[in-house]
């Protein structure tokens, strides 16, 4: 039993949810609850009202219209893995989702919850940064679309304002592209990331590179992108790019790894991820789902 | 603050009052006498509290009891209403467990896997039970038993 007492509401519509939030002192949004319930039990947060989004059907949507993917606030990682749209259009999102925690967590946890908790080792942050996704919020003043790079402010701190609910994220397809997500944990299975990264190789010869778990917020490695965009990827260019990683990321030493190990592995993961993304752009392997480390 | 909830537990309708802060695991064990889900880490890492909610395994230590209003919950007790399941027989045959604390969770996770994929590869089995920690067995006899039943 949670120590503090709170109210519980399961609205069926967004407006109803916004109304309840506006009338509460310290409301918390409940989607999967895999972070929130733990935080309530630990006493880290003390809501007076918990608003369960699982009654709002449209939050379960995964759509792909006009080359834009929308993932609703109630979509779990298991649903992302099973989605035909994701499999066909953005297989790397399924790859990433498979590495999140364990099955029993993925069956509940949502991508939107992941980016609202905004813990530095989250997997979804670097992905959304690389795809230049927009976080969509609804609030008393209407809808806002916030670019990923402005969404993450600090560890566990986002651009959400009081009274707002994140309704989903949208990703404009960058056209035909190869992608690769690489995650390093202490062991395979359910561990959190020591380093994670995503690389997109676009048809026009440009790249998008994002790192996670190596700074308080996801890092879009624009210096590296600038260096390699439009150039043939030679071993000497990769070497230069790896040197730049030292400027782009700021890993720390914690319970899961030392900063030196994280830096070392980030370079290896970058090289393998880059090669895989380029190869996939050109219709080759390694097939999606294969672990590269 | 208390609210009446109705849900289906192991095929039977259940009706009780809960406070919003009550955790499903505690309600199952303390109020409803369903003892197969256990409290291990109490934060979603160890899998001993696993139950099946609407066909999918979840961590009952991270679910509010009030969330299962109008939903369907199955625990190990529900799976074995007509005796041991073939999967359990296979675990017995392979001496898969020592203390058995993790067994209900692992059986439910394996049941979900086999429901989706009747012929999983070893890697898929390992992935499906990666969130269920066992401190006795080293996992090998557990995986062997699941492979056995698919042959």
| CATH number for A42 | 3.30.43.10
| B67 at A interface, C-beta within 8 A | yes
- Segment holding A71, helix H or strand E: strand A68-72
Give the separation between CA B20 and CA B123, rounded to whole angstroms.
Answer: 39
Buried b (16+ CB within 10 A) or exposed e, A217-234: bbbbbeebbeebeeeebe
Q: Is A167 helix (H, G, I), strand (E, B) or coil?
A: strand
Q: Tell me: the pLDDT tens digits for A124-134? A: 999 999 999 99
* Pairwise CB contact (< 8 Å): A5 & B19: yes
Tell me whether residue A66 is in a domain. Answer: yes
* Pairwise CB contact (< 8 Å): B58 & A8: no
Q: Tell me: the pLDDT tens digits for B7-42? A: 999 999 999 999 999 999 999 999 999 999 999 999
Looking at CA atoms only, how far is residue A22 from chain B in angstroms?
Answer: 20
| Number of alpha carbons in the 13 Å side-chain half-sphere of residue B64 | 33
Number of domains in chain A: 3
Tokens of A183: 């995650």
Give the separation between CA A267 and CA A271, rounded to whole angstroms.
Answer: 6
* Pairwise CB contact (< 8 Å): A37 & B22: no
Shared domain for A51 and A66, answered yes or no, is no
Picking from A172, A204, A235, the residue at the C-terminal end of a domain is A172
For residue A178, the cross-strand partners are: A201
Q: Which structural domain, as residue segments, surrounds residue A275?
A: 178-281
Strands (E), A148-292: 152-154, 157-158, 165-172, 177-184, 195-202, 207-212, 219-220
Cα-only R_g, chain A: 19
Nearest to B19 by CA among B5, B35, B38: B5
The series of mean pLDDT values per 10 residues for chain A, 293 residues long, is 86 98 98 97 96 97 98 98 97 96 97 97 97 98 97 98 98 97 87 94 98 97 98 97 97 94 97 97 91 87
Tokens of A1: 């039993």
CATH number, position A99: 3.30.465.10
What are chain B's domains?
3-75 (3.10.20.30), 86-150 (1.10.150.120)
Cβ-based neighbour number of residue A92 at 10 Å = 23
* Pairwise CB contact (< 8 Å): A41 & B20: no
Of the candidates B59, B64, B67, the beta carbon closest to that of A105 is on B59
Shared domain for A22 and A65, answered yes or no, is no
- Segment holding B147, helix H or strand E: helix B140-150
* Pairwise CB contact (< 8 Å): A107 & B42: no
B-chain CB neighbours of A3 within 8 Å are: 21
Tokens of A109: 């946890």
* Pairwise CB contact (< 8 Å): A33 & B67: yes
| Calculated CA dihedral for residues B131, A74, A209, A259, nearest 10 degrees | -40
* Pairwise CB contact (< 8 Å): B21 & A2: yes
Interface probe with A: pick from B26, B130, B134, most Cβ of A within 10 Å: B130
Residue of B nearest to A40 (CA): B21
Tokens of A108: 């509940």
Interface probe with B: pick from A103, A108, A186, most Cβ of B within 10 Å: A103
Shared domain for A216 and A253, answered yes or no, is yes
Looking at CA atoms only, how far is residue A103 from chain B in angstroms?
Answer: 6
Q: What pLDDT is stored for residue A191 in this prediction?
A: 83
Q: What pLDDT is stored for residue A269 in this prediction?
A: 97
Shared domain for A40 and A109, answered yes or no, is no
Q: How many residues does chain B have?
A: 151
B-chain CB neighbours of A10 within 8 Å are: 69
Shared domain for A209 and A147, answered yes or no, is no
Shared domain for A162 and A182, answered yes or no, is no
B-chain CB neighbours of A105 within 8 Å are: 44, 59, 62, 131
Handedness of CA A14, A15, A20, A21 (dihedral sign): positive
Q: What pLDDT is stored for residue A286 in this prediction?
A: 93
Q: What pLDDT is stored for residue B27 in this prediction?
A: 98
Cβ-based neighbour number of residue A61 at 10 Å = 14
Burial class from Cβ neighbours inside 10 Å (0-12, 13-18, 19+) for residue A110 reads buried
Residues of chain B with pLDDT under 50: none
Shared domain for A64 and A159, answered yes or no, is yes
Tell me whether residue A293 is in a domain. Answer: no
Q: What pLDDT is stored for residue A188 in this prediction?
A: 77
Interface probe with B: pick from A9, A28, A99, A104, most Cβ of B within 10 Å: A104
- What do you get for the CA distance between the two ends of chain A, in Å? 41
Of the candidates B44, B53, B130, the beta carbon closest to that of A34 is on B44
- The fraction of chain B above a pLDDT of 70, given in percent, is 100
Please say whether the beta carbons of A10 and A91 come within 8 A: no
Q: What integer best gives the mean pLDDT of chain B?
A: 97
Contacts of A8 (CB under 8 A, 6+ apart): A49, A50, A52, B3, B20, B64, B66
| B71 at A interface, C-beta within 8 A | no
Please say whether the beta carbons of A175 and A202 come within 8 A: yes
């Amino acid at each position: 039993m949670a120590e503090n007492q709170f109210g519980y509401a399961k609205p069926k519509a967004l407006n109803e949810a916004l109304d309840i939030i506006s009338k509460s002192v310290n409301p918390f949004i409940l989607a999967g609850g895999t972070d929130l319930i733990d935080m309530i039990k630990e006493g880290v947060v003390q809501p007076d009202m918990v608003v369960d989004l699982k009654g709002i059907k449209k939050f379960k949507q995964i759509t792909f219209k006009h080359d834009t993917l929308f993932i609703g606030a109630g979509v779990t990682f298991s649903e992302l893995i099973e989605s035909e749209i994701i499999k066909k259009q953005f297989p790397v999102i399924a790859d990433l989702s498979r590495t999140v925690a364990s099955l029993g967590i993925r069956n509940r946890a949502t991508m939107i919850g992941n980016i609202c908790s905004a813990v530095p080792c989250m997997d979804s942050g670097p992905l959304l940064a690389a795809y230049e996704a927009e976080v969509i919020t609804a609030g008393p003043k209407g809808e806002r679309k916030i670019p990923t790079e402005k969404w993450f402010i600090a560890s566990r701190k986002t651009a959400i304002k009081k009274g707002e609910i994140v309704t989903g994220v949208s990703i404009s397809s960058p056209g035909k592209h190869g992608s690769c997500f690489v995650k390093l944990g202490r062991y395979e299975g359910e561990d959190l990331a020591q380093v994670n990264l995503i690389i997109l190789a676009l048809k026009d010869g440009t790249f998008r590179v994002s790192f996670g778990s190596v700074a308080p917020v996801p890092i879009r490695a624009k210096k590296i992108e600038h260096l390699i965009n439009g150039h043939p990827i030679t071993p000497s260019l990769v070497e230069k790019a790896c040197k730049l990683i030292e400027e782009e990321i700021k890993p720390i030493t914690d319970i899961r790894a030392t900063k030196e190990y994280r830096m070392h592995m980030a370079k290896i993961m970058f090289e393998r991820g880059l090669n895989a993304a380029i190869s996939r752009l050109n219709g080759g392997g390694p097939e999606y789902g294969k672990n590269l480390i | 603050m208390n609210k009446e909830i109705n849900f289906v537990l192991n095929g039977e309708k259940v009706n009780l009052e809960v406070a919003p802060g009550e955790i499903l695991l505690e309600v199952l064990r303390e109020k409803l006498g369903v003892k197969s889900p256990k409290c291990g880490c109490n934060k979603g890492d160890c899998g001993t509290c696993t139950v099946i909610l609407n066909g999918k395994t979840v961590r009952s230590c991270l679910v509010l009891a009030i969330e299962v209003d109008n939903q369907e919950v199955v625990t190990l007790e529900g799976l074995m209403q007509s005796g041991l399941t073939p999967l359990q027989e296979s675990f017995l045959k392979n001496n898969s467990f020592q203390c058995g604390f993790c067994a209900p969770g692992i059986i439910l996770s394996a049941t979900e896997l086999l429901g989706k994929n009747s012929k999983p590869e070893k890697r898929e089995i390992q992935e499906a039970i990666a969130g269920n920690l066992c401190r006795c067995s080293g996992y090998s006899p557990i995986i062997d038993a699941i492979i056995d039943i698919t042959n």
